[in-house]
Amino acid sequence: MRSQGHYEGLCQESLSEFVRSARWILGERDPDVALPPERMWGGVPTCAGQMALLPLAALYPGRPDLAYRAAYQLGFIDNGTAKDLNAALVAGLAQALSTEIEHGDIHAAWQQILQTMKRVDPYRYHQVPWVQRPISRWLAFAHSAAERAGKSPNRLFKILETEALPHYWWDAHFLIAVSFAILEMCDFDPLASLHLALDFGHDTDSAAQLIGAFAGALHGPAVFPARMREQVTDRLRVDYEQSLQEWVALLTGLPKEHDASLIVRLD
């Protein structure tokens, strides 16, 4: 903000809702400065947590239960079903970070990840009577959409746009349906999936970052061409004066022995 004069206004505009909700979480009740987080996004369950919380998985590789609970407790920016949906994604990423692709069997590796997202359920969403757990519903829809589309992107796009029930293109469930249907259609090829997500349009940055997060977690950063990685790191430095390497070092250097106590404090 100091080096880019126009960023102050952009930050104020984009973060003002987050600030009001954060103040409410911290106990303030003056409506001039604090408002309940349930009000954010008009109560619509959005992909906000998908944007902000995915890096939490780096703290819990191979421990998806802890990853889920951390994302759920920190996700005050998520409403309704998005709290479970977005926390389940972080759990899936934690699993992906510790999943080996044995004998080149990418489908077996992905089954581990998908099953983890459905299995990890510390707050027992699957026991709520008369409804299906949202993450199970939308992963099943993504699988069905990819199967029914065959290998036709246009057919898949039509199914997603007409049957995935988007109120907005950034609904939490819609981005999950889009991302995992595209991954399956592309036989879980990471770069092909990213390309197809861009071809689909709508909220392309959200779908691409979700697919890219899983691709990086499962395959490692080398899955992305060096030129692509360099463009990202260069723009982060020029536009935001941030170093991706420094952030990675911070995440991976945090003391892992305190992870469990962190969750206790959050609970």
From CA 109, how far away is CA 99, in angstroms rounded? 6
Asked if pLDDT for residue 265 goes beyond 70, the answer is no
Between the CA of residue 36 and those of 1, 41, 84, 267, what are the distances in Å? 28, 11, 19, 19
* Other Cβ atoms within 10 Å of 80 Cβ, number: 15
Handedness of CA 29, 34, 37, 39 (dihedral sign): positive
The pLDDT value given to residue 8 = 85
From CA 93, how far away is CA 249, in angstroms rounded? 18
Asked if pLDDT for residue 261 goes beyond 70, the answer is no
Q: pLDDT band at 6, cuts 50/70/90?
A: confident
Task: Give the list of residues 6+ apart from residue 252 with CB closer than 8 angstroms, or none.
Answer: 58
Q: Report pLDDT digits (tens) over 205-243.
A: 999 999 999 999 999 999 999 999 999 999 999 988 899
From CA 8, how far away is CA 90, in angstroms rounded? 30
Report the pLDDT averaged over residues 15-29.
Answer: 94
Between the CA of residue 42 and those of 17, 50, 78, 176, what are the distances in Å? 11, 18, 11, 20
Side chain identity at 215, as an amino acid letter?
Answer: A
User: 168: phi > 0 → left, psi -120 to 50 → alpha, else beta; which?
Assistant: beta
Asked if pLDDT for residue 97 goes beyond 90, the answer is yes
From CA 52, how far away is CA 43, in angstroms rounded? 18
Q: pLDDT band at 248, cuts 50/70/90?
A: confident
The helix/strand/coil state of 36 is: coil
Q: pLDDT band at 252, cuts 50/70/90?
A: confident
* Other Cβ atoms within 10 Å of 202 Cβ, number: 17
Report the pLDDT averaged over residues 189-210.
Answer: 97
The pLDDT value given to residue 116 = 98
Q: Report pLDDT digits (tens) over 50-79.
A: 999 999 999 999 999 999 999 999 999 999
How much is the pTM? 0.92
Report the pLDDT averaged over residues 125-152.
Answer: 97
HSE-CB of 201 using CA atoms within 13 angstroms: 6
Side chain identity at 233, as an amino acid letter?
Answer: T
Residue 189 DSSP label: -
